[in-house]
Homo-oligomer: A and B are copies of this chain.
Amino acid sequence: MARGISVVEDHGAQSTELLKALFPYSGNAVLLGMTGSPGAGKSTLVDQVAHAYRKQGKTIGIVAVDPTSPFSGGAILGDRIRMQSHHADPGIYIRSMATRGSLGGLASTTADVATVLDASGRDIVMIETVGVGQDEVDIVRLADVTVVVLVPGMGDDVQTIKAGIMEIADIFVINKSDREGAERVEREIRAMQAITPSRANAARAGGPEALAVRNDNWTPPIVKTVASTGAGTAELLAAIEKYRAYLQQDGRARARRIDNWRQRIAEMLRDALFQRVLAYYLSEGEATRYAAEVAEHKRDPYSLVEKIIDNLGKPE
């Protein structure tokens, strides 16, 4: 499994062949997305949830997406500390993913890694991201259930809770809920839920249609946890089960997976196209020469991009 994941992360021809072969075995795991801002205690919460599922005899795969480092490959300290608590239990597998290179592919690669874990027979595949960038939103949107983790003490800035995060949440968690301000966060969520445009409106404004189907008659519940002690973990699992039961009604689960795949196929297509162009049409040397010409204002980049694309094969 670990070797398979490495192959997938490396994106070679081998990667595609492996994924094609594994795809028929995927689709059985529950994909659980968990997102929240840095410092919200997501990792600890994910660990608690994983242990709780283990007690039910389920096997877990965790993909922890670690954004931000295009150069050195991710967090320096966090992962090492984390790995230690699980290494004794083969029923929990954690893979930390850093962003590989700065252009695209993060959401696709994460989804591919989740596919490997899913096809390997893991019952639950958890995808953990820092939920503030667009890439991270794309990632958690690929899950069956999306949990948004908030935390008291950041509420003095109106930017903290954003509309987009509100809209992707199927379940809210207020972690570190023993701290001052937990009630305030809860009130803020309720207030945002009251003023956020309804799902139906959001869908009409350009969102995928499936979304209107997805969360009609579902008001995301708010679960309070203290991940460091495990308080609230059972309630979170119950909320996840309740949401899954809701999804099973009226074809919602299928509508959601179709919508997710639309999104994912589009992203895969975009990445694959770009790789193809880089491989065949734009050498390193050319790219640097073009960049220098643009930087020196000898050429405008908009005409340049049109020229490169027009030379590909004149699609019309």
Contacts and interface: CB of A to CB of B under 8 A. Distances in A.
A277 B288 contact: no
A210 to B, nearest CB: 9
Interface stretch (A99-107, A216-224, A233-241): A99-107
Given A39-B159, A295-B261, A280 B315 contact: yes
A267 B274 CA distance: 9
A259 B300 CA distance: 16
Contact of A156 (B39, B196, B296): B39
Contacts of A157: 38-39, 41
Interface string A37-73: 1110101000000000000000000000011111111
Contacts of A304: 265
Contacts of A43: 159
A71 B315 contact: no
Contacts of A185: none
Greatest chain B CB density within 10 A among A131, A133, A258, A309 is at A133
B27 A75 contact: no
Interface stretch (A85-93, A162-170, A242-250): A162-170
B162 A66 contact: yes
A192 to B, nearest CB: 7
A135, A167, A272, A315: residue with the most chain B Cβ atoms closer than 10 Å: A135
Interface of A: 16, 19-20, 23-24, 27, 37-39, 41, 43, 66-78, 81, 99, 101-104, 106, 130-138, 141, 153-154, 156-160, 162-165, 167, 192, 195-197, 202-203, 205-207, 211, 254, 257-270, 272-274, 276-278, 280-282, 287-288, 290-292, 294-297, 300-306, 308-309, 312-313, 315-316
11 contacts: A23-B301, A39-B154, A39-B159, A67-B133, A68-B137, A69-B164, A70-B207, A71-B202, A258-B295, A265-B291, A313-B315
